[in-house]
Structure 1
């Protein structure tokens, strides 16, 4: 069971053979400079993106699509519609004045295109920028039922009628102008009526809804009725602004409107209200809605953006890897050549900026460059063969055959168990005490390993462990005296 667990271990350590001493990888100055450059650029870009992200300068991803909603109910916000008379001269009479009123705004509620209630919205609570009376539509409830679904509420919308003053709709402290004054006003002046609609938009930077005002102006004509349909564009905005996970917030508002206009005679509008209707404005909701999905950049996406830049830069590391690979190969080959030709260490290579050898120098003697290159090419080819595992095994097998031809089988078995004696200082007991315990045997501690039963000898010492070690800085081997 324990062995089975070890076989499925995905975290096993891989053995890497050292090139020279403690070097398992060849690294160069050029590779170090390139690494420093890549990480510096990535860090600087990460700080730049992080600053933009924190200040809201990175625009979110916005997906807009249109949908058709057959049924929906809308609670229209207060002060959505404001009506006023555009007056450029203070001497001109305000037709929407509550005292001596000439023009009266009447809100008509229609259900399934049939009027069910009339109400004057004439007030004097607000003054417009033109110094005239400002008319505000009260809160409206519009029901959109485009397919006439009987299981849902009936379709409901509002009309705003601009008529001459109607006494039956007057409120307290309100009076109408005389018929003569009303007719004179309509005959002798062009009356510009301004309608202001307060729409809403979503601010992606501050993540909040703000108001946008749009104005429409119409001119009243005595003998014609202007019919206007204002279709509000409803927008459902889904906001996902969480730092890491998904966190959706829904905002619903009117973002825009479209206007359809036509003119009719007075007779055609008499069925709605028995009087002069100068402007008939219908407030409806467009059956086509806009669905807007706004997803802010998350921290993981920002890291991915930085990582893409890093990946692009690291793609260029292939050239550095090839450079290091070639330099490592040249270094190992030169070390192998130095093993066979010790004088080779005294040669100095002059390289260009690309790492190519262009000249060979010696400390004392002058080098014949042409002959050296010819010799080096031949020796290098042989040194490359030394790096292959098959060649190494081949050479070891040849050495074995040479030793075997000079040594008997019994001597080879003896060498199989031959080893270096451990220092006496490692044992608490002295050697003579241990030897006394082994009086019945003919061998001494110098010839026997107490734990492994391997043959040992005092002829070998600790220096034998390092005697044949390769040291590329070593120029000669000092043989101790005695």
Structure 2
């Protein structure tokens, strides 16, 4: 075998698109189909299309829940730098009535919020959170200035290659004129004693956490609220551990496409009691409440993966496959219908009174008809078809001998025998077309003469619309042949 022939053979062998030859049941029909099958097909296709549109709409509007993977990790170094239009940290004082003293009044100030950043344990310059632009939260609470910026660093190994540990301390201290804005003044000692004697001393503190909404693909703010009490004789110290979260969102349609975010996911508080002189070396005077903000080395890593197009199509396909289980019922119906049609046709070829045989109500006749159907089914078996053809060949061999059968291989039509020579004749175009139609009809009739049973052939001839001149010529040929 030469190389070219080997290539052709190999290419044909690896062809995965080969199709089997199907015998035609009728002209241009190779597969049995039925009205019931069509109804079921429309039903299944309609439901499948509706479900496909529904799932695609769910996918496009992000209503299909993404796959989420949460894990905790311990980091030797981490930092968070947040700057948000929304407040990150807010503090307010519960002032129950208008008659109660406002400890954060800048004209008669009793309490002063002071912030200090500690870098690698070393305090930075203190700054006041008090100004004249105080707002009311839920009446009559007084909302202190909020923090919209927060920078914290956690360096567990004090690695010099990274930023140094940074923490924030917010103190509620006794008024100090050093931190008052221009025009402000501290309250008298009598006013301060009156405040602690007649007021409910608690602070309302909250930190705004965030969570990611998988449907809107936006962050939502969640307020986590705490209450802190304080008094003039002792101080409260609270360590607020801020737990950072890393979010990786994959919104790719076909391939991965990640967007990374980091935000405050949660907080933990540890409280203890200390003296009011704890921060005296840093800020002169007493301190009643201290909030120390630290970055927790344990963080949360969240991976959010939205369904890819392939997963959505697979989801639709699984439901469609479930619906297509109905198709087996329709296929069984079509197979039974085809088998009954073929067996009836075989019996019809043998019995001229087939209709009477099939519709008879006589028990013996019905039994005989059922036996014939079983035999007809056996005739449809391919091996039996080959066997019957071999019997016909042996019969012809026995009747006509080997020579006649061998000569049959040489029997063929000659198309030239049907051609008409128009040379020397004068015909109109209509007459020429009539002669050509006659030739075509004669040649095809000879070609199909044993392909259709006589009864069917006569029925087809009666139903055909033949040109009157062709019909007349056919009748004349039939008459001459009879003579």
TM-score (normalised: structure 1)? 0.81
* Deviation per residue, 1:392-421 (Å, 9 max, x gap): 222222222222223344433322111112
What residue is the counterpart of 1:86 in the other structure? 94
Q: CA deviation at 1:286?
A: 2.2
What residue is the counterpart of 1:435 in the other structure? none
Verify: 1:64 aligned to 2:70, yes or no. Answer: yes
- Cα separation, partners in 2 of 1:410 and 1:463, compared to 1, 3 Å: same
Structure 1 unaligned segments of length 5 or more: list them. Answer: 349-360, 431-459
Q: Distance in 2 between matches of 1:407 and 1:258?
A: 107
- Cα separation, partners in 2 of 1:144 and 1:472, compared to 1, 3 Å: farther
- Cα separation, partners in 2 of 1:21 and 1:103, compared to 1, 3 Å: same
- Cα separation, partners in 2 of 1:35 and 1:275, compared to 1, 3 Å: same
What residue is the counterpart of 1:77 in the other structure? 83
Q: CA deviation at 1:38?
A: 0.5
Q: Distance in 2 between matches of 1:102 and 1:311?
A: 75
Q: 1:417 aligns with which of 405, 410, 416?
A: 410
Verify: 1:378 aligned to 2:371, yes or no. Answer: yes
- Cα separation, partners in 2 of 1:473 and 1:324, compared to 1, 3 Å: farther
Verify: 1:393 aligned to 2:386, yes or no. Answer: yes
Number of equivalenced pairs: 437
Q: 1:296 aligns with which of 300, 303, 306?
A: 306
- Cα separation, partners in 2 of 1:59 and 1:324, compared to 1, 3 Å: same
* Deviation per residue, 1:163-184 (Å, 9 max, x gap): 1112333343332222332233
Contact 1:85 1:194 survives alignment (8 Å): yes
Q: Distance in 1 between matches of 2:13 and 2:56?
A: 44
- Cα separation, partners in 2 of 1:110 and 1:427, compared to 1, 3 Å: farther
Q: Distance in 2 between matches of 1:261 and 1:109?
A: 20
Equivalence map 1:150-189=2 (5 Å): 150-189=160-199
For residue 463 of structure 1, give the secondary structure of its aligned residue in structure 2.
helix
What residue is the counterpart of 1:209 in the other structure? 219
For residue 386 of structure 2, give the secondary structure of its aligned residue in structure 1.
helix
Verify: 1:404 aligned to 2:412, yes or no. Answer: no
Contact 2:93 2:143 survives alignment (8 Å): yes
Contact 2:79 2:295 survives alignment (8 Å): no
Q: Distance in 2 between matches of 1:136 and 1:43?
A: 54
Q: Distance in 2 between matches of 1:211 and 1:102?
A: 32
Q: Distance in 2 between matches of 1:464 and 1:298?
A: 63
Q: State the structure with bigger RCO (CA 8 A, min sep 6), 1 or 2.
A: 2
What residue is the counterpart of 1:122 in the other structure? 130
Deviates more, 1:215-224 or 1:331-340: 215-224
* Deviation per residue, 1:93-134 (Å, 9 max, x gap): 211122221111111222344434423222222323236362
Deviates more, 1:33-42 or 1:281-290: 281-290
Contact 1:110 1:117 survives alignment (8 Å): no
Q: CA deviation at 1:476?
A: 6.2
The structure carrying a bigger helix percent of its residues is 2
Q: Distance in 2 between matches of 1:193 and 1:462?
A: 106
Q: Distance in 2 between matches of 1:384 and 1:394?
A: 15
Q: Distance in 1 between matches of 2:278 and 2:113?
A: 19
Q: Distance in 1 between matches of 2:279 and 2:419?
A: 120
Q: Distance in 1 between matches of 2:142 and 2:401?
A: 127
- Cα separation, partners in 2 of 1:473 and 1:257, compared to 1, 3 Å: farther
Verify: 1:36 aligned to 2:42, yes or no. Answer: yes
For residue 377 of structure 1, give the secondary structure of its aligned residue in structure 2.
helix
Q: Distance in 2 between matches of 1:473 and 1:201?
A: 82
What residue is the counterpart of 2:447 in the other structure? 465
- Cα separation, partners in 2 of 1:68 and 1:426, compared to 1, 3 Å: farther
- Cα separation, partners in 2 of 1:6 and 1:139, compared to 1, 3 Å: closer
What residue is the counterpart of 1:247 in the other structure? 257
Q: CA deviation at 1:17?
A: 1.2
Q: 2:115 aligns with which of 107, 113, 120?
A: 107
- Cα separation, partners in 2 of 1:462 and 1:154, compared to 1, 3 Å: closer
Structure 2 unaligned segments of length 5 or more: list them. Answer: 424-441, 462-474
Deviates more, 1:132-141 or 1:398-407: 132-141
Q: Distance in 1 between matches of 2:188 and 2:132?
A: 20
Verify: 1:224 aligned to 2:234, yes or no. Answer: yes
Considering only aligned residues, what root-mean-square deviation do their CA atoms show, in Å? 3.0
Q: CA deviation at 1:35?
A: 1.0
- Cα separation, partners in 2 of 1:133 and 1:412, compared to 1, 3 Å: closer
What residue is the counterpart of 2:204 in the other structure? 194
Contact 2:134 2:143 survives alignment (8 Å): yes
The structure carrying a bigger strand percent of its residues is 1
Q: Distance in 2 between matches of 1:249 and 1:113?
A: 35
Q: Distance in 1 between matches of 2:269 and 2:68?
A: 27
Equivalence map 1:416-455=2 (5 Å): 416-424=409-417
Deviates more, 1:50-59 or 1:168-177: 50-59
- Cα separation, partners in 2 of 1:6 and 1:52, compared to 1, 3 Å: closer
